[in-house]
Amino acid sequence: MMRSHPTGHDAPVMTAASSTLPGDASVSTNKTVFPRLTAMMLLEFVVFGSWFATLGLVLATNGLPAIIANAYLLAAVAAIVSPMFLGALGDRFMSSQKVLGVAHFAGGALMLFLPGAVQAGNGNLVLVLVFAYMLFFMPTLGLSNSIAFRHLGNRQDLFPYIRVFGTLGWVIAGLFVGALGLSASPSIFYVTAVASFAFGLYAFTLPATPPPAKGVKFSIGDVIGAKAFQLLRHRNFVVFMICATLTSIGLAIYNAFSSPYLGALGIENVAGVLAIGQASEVLFIMTIPWVLKKIGMKWALLAGMFMWGVRFALFIAAAGDQHWLAILAIALHGICSDFFLVVGAMYIDQVSPVELTAQAQSMLILVISGLGAVIGTFLSGQIFGSTVAANPTAGPEAWAPLWLLPVGTAILTAIIWIAFFRHSRHQDVKRFEAAPAI
């Protein structure tokens, strides 16, 4: 969960280019800082990728398919409430790298209890543990970004080269879990626990990152990005947020059910196959500047959002004997993720007034990881329960109604985007004006 730092009359505006850190802690003056930040990002996503991608497969294989949707639903709820639970600690009271370390130690400890809960078939305990774990983990995504930006100072342009190591970390974790044959095993949680403890130790060696808002009055409005609501006065922003919500419904369904579906198709090494998607992210993220130059922001975003529907259509087609189509759908993840999530964040950064950029980014994350994810997991859980779970002996064809939902939302998204988003590819993206202070 990306954290938004307070902005307004009672706090200084923090930007990615500003720095309150000692000179020797900046990437511009200390060449060891950059590799330390890349290692941080890699380990962050080794932890995440070691279990989240195949959680659904583990639950389906171990007699708990009925709670798959609820597990991912609770993860989405944690994405909404976790900043209030832990994120403010790193903003106001403790150095960010220490909060990062403590959170991963706590998460690793919780992971140690999950294998036993799954093997015992205790679905309620599994859900409680997943929710508790995500309360600790979700803020670390934003903390890692925050630490990186603080130490980059005026070299914000280097951030994509740090962030790409997060994708590599997810790939490495997936390949490792798959190579060990643990894709469907509760033992993946032990792998996550070990990775969490290792990262927790490493976090304490990161460059000191003092709390940027120490002494600032806590405001729930800052946490949820309330000041960014004024951007809803602009039609393009409203259209983007609606389309982001619709697209994130498909993202939530993919996160929850792609791994058990690959298992239902009889595909071996599910974790390794899913890692193909993250590997494609590494390739496509490098093409973003070229694509934006050639087709512009509007059509790049449309490509990212509509391709979610294409990949689920491939899932439907793969139910026969064409299982390779499912692998192709996984490989499209680079387009779907980079041209939706990354380009979307770039769009928000370009159009938001400087004093509202952080809050607007927080609002986007809440829409994608919170609102859209809640809707997607709830609806898909209902469909899965009435089709696949209700008939365990049914083949992959029984999954078609589940995949039709994101195909439909992708078509609806494309119609709304083309009809209502007004922006020429030859037109520069301009910042919206902030509403005058009252």
Per-residue pLDDT, 54: 87
Q: What does the mean pLDDT of the chain come to?
A: 82
Sorting pLDDT into bands at 50, 70 and 90, what band is 427? low
For 319, what's the count of Cα atoms within 13 Å in the CB-facing half-sphere? 15
Backbone φ and ψ for 8, nearest 5 degrees, come out as 135, -160
3-state secondary structure (DSSP) of residue 8: strand
Q: What is the pLDDT of residue 338?
A: 87
Query: Does residue 16 have a pLDDT over 60?
Result: no
Query: Radius of gyration (Cα) for the chain, nearest Å?
Result: 21
Q: What mean pLDDT comes out for the span 308-335?
A: 92
| Residue 213, pLDDT score | 56
Residue 408: its pLDDT value, please? 97
Cα 121 to Cα 366: distance, rounded to the nearest angstrom: 32
Q: What's the pLDDT tens digit per position in 366-380?
A: 788 888 988 998 999
pLDDT digit string, tens, across residues 189-232:
999 999 999 999 999 999 887 765 565 666 666 555 566 788 88
Which tens digit of pLDDT belongs to each residue from 90-119?
A: 555 677 788 899 999 999 999 999 999 999
Least-confidence region, from 71-85, 178-192, 231-245, 321-335: 71-85
pLDDT (0 to 100) of residue 273: 87
What are the start-end ranges of the H helices in 318-399? 324-331, 333-337, 343-351, 357-365, 373-386
Q: What is the pLDDT of residue 367?
A: 86
The residue that leads in pLDDT, 5 or 149, is 149
- pLDDT (0 to 100) of residue 125: 97
Question: Kind and range of the H or E element at 124?
Answer: helix 123-152
Mean pLDDT of 178-184: 88
Percent of the chain with pLDDT over 90: 40
Instruction: Write out pLDDT tens, residues 36-60.
Output: 999 999 999 999 999 988 898 899 8
Residue 49 near residue 178, CB atoms below 8 Å: no
